[in-house]
Structure 1
Amino acid sequence: MVQAGGTQLALQVHESTGDARASVVLGCAIGVPQRYYQDFAAWLARQGFRVTTFDYRGHGASLQGPARRVRANLLDWARDYEAVVAQARAQLPGRPLFLLGHSLGAQLPGLFQRPGQVDGLLAVAAGSGYWREIAPQARRRAHLLWYGVLPASTLACGYFPGRRLGVIGDLPAGVAWQWRRWCLSPRYSVGAEGEAVARSYAAVRYPIHALSFADDEMMTLRGTQSLLALYAGAPRQIERIDAQAVQGARIGHMGFFRSAFEASLWPRAAAVLQRWCADA
Structure 2
Amino acid sequence: MLTQNITTEVVSVLVTARDSVQATVFKPGGDITGVLVVHSATATPQGFYRAFAQYAAGRGLLAITYDYRGTGLSGSPRSQHEIKMRDWIQRDIPAVAQWAAERYPDLPHYAIGHSVGGHGLVLNYGTANLKALAIAASHVAALRSISPWTERLRVIAVLNILGPILSRLCGYMPGQKLGLGEDIPRAAMLDWSSWTLRKNYFFDDPSMQAKRKAEELRVPMLAIGASDDLWASEKQMDLLAEHVTGAPVERRTYSPQEIGATSIGHHGLLRRGVGEPVWNDILNWLTR
**Which residue in 1 is equivalent to 2:134?**
122
Aligned residues: 274
**Which residue in 1 is equivalent to 2:285?**
272
Cα 1:161/1:264, change in 2 over 3 Å: same
SS of equivalent residue, structure 1 residue 217 = coil
Following TM superposition, where does structure 1 have runs of at least 4 consecutive aligned residues deviating by more than 6 angstroms? Answer: none
Segments of structure 1 that go 5 or more residues without pairing to the other structure are: 276-280
SS of equivalent residue, structure 2 residue 209 = helix
Cα 1:165/1:198, change in 2 over 3 Å: same
1:32 aligns with 2:44: yes
Q: CA deviation at 1:31?
A: 0.6
How do 1:166-205 residues align onto structure 2 when only pairs under 5 Å count? 166-194=179-207, 196-205=209-218
Contact 1:68-1:173 at 8 Å conserved across structures? no
Contact 1:106-1:121 at 8 Å conserved across structures? no
How do 1:1-280 residues align onto structure 2 when only pairs under 5 Å count? 1-5=12-16, 6-64=18-76, 67=78, 69-78=80-89, 79-112=91-124, 115-136=127-148, 137-194=150-207, 196-261=209-274, 263-275=276-288
TM-score (norm 1): 0.91
SS of equivalent residue, structure 2 residue 157 = helix
1:132 corresponds to which letter in structure 2?
R
CA RMSD of aligned residues (A): 1.8
Task: Write the distance in 2 (CA, Å) between the matches of 1:31 and 1:238.
Answer: 25
SS of equivalent residue, structure 2 residue 83 = coil
2:23 corresponds to which letter in structure 1?
L
Contact 1:28-1:101 at 8 Å conserved across structures? yes
Q: CA deviation at 1:69?
A: 4.4
Segments of structure 2 that go 5 or more residues without pairing to the other structure are: 1-11
Q: CA deviation at 1:125?
A: 1.7
Cα 1:16/1:70, change in 2 over 3 Å: same
Q: Percent identity between the aligned chains?
A: 27
Moved more, 111-120 or 184-193: 111-120
SS of equivalent residue, structure 1 residue 121 = strand
Cα-to-partner distance string for 1:99-127 (whole Å, 9 max, x where unaligned): 11111110012445564222222111221
Task: Write the distance in 1 (CA, Å) between the matches of 2:178 and 2:253.
Answer: 32
Task: Write the distance in 2 (CA, Å) between the matches of 1:37 and 1:135.
Answer: 28
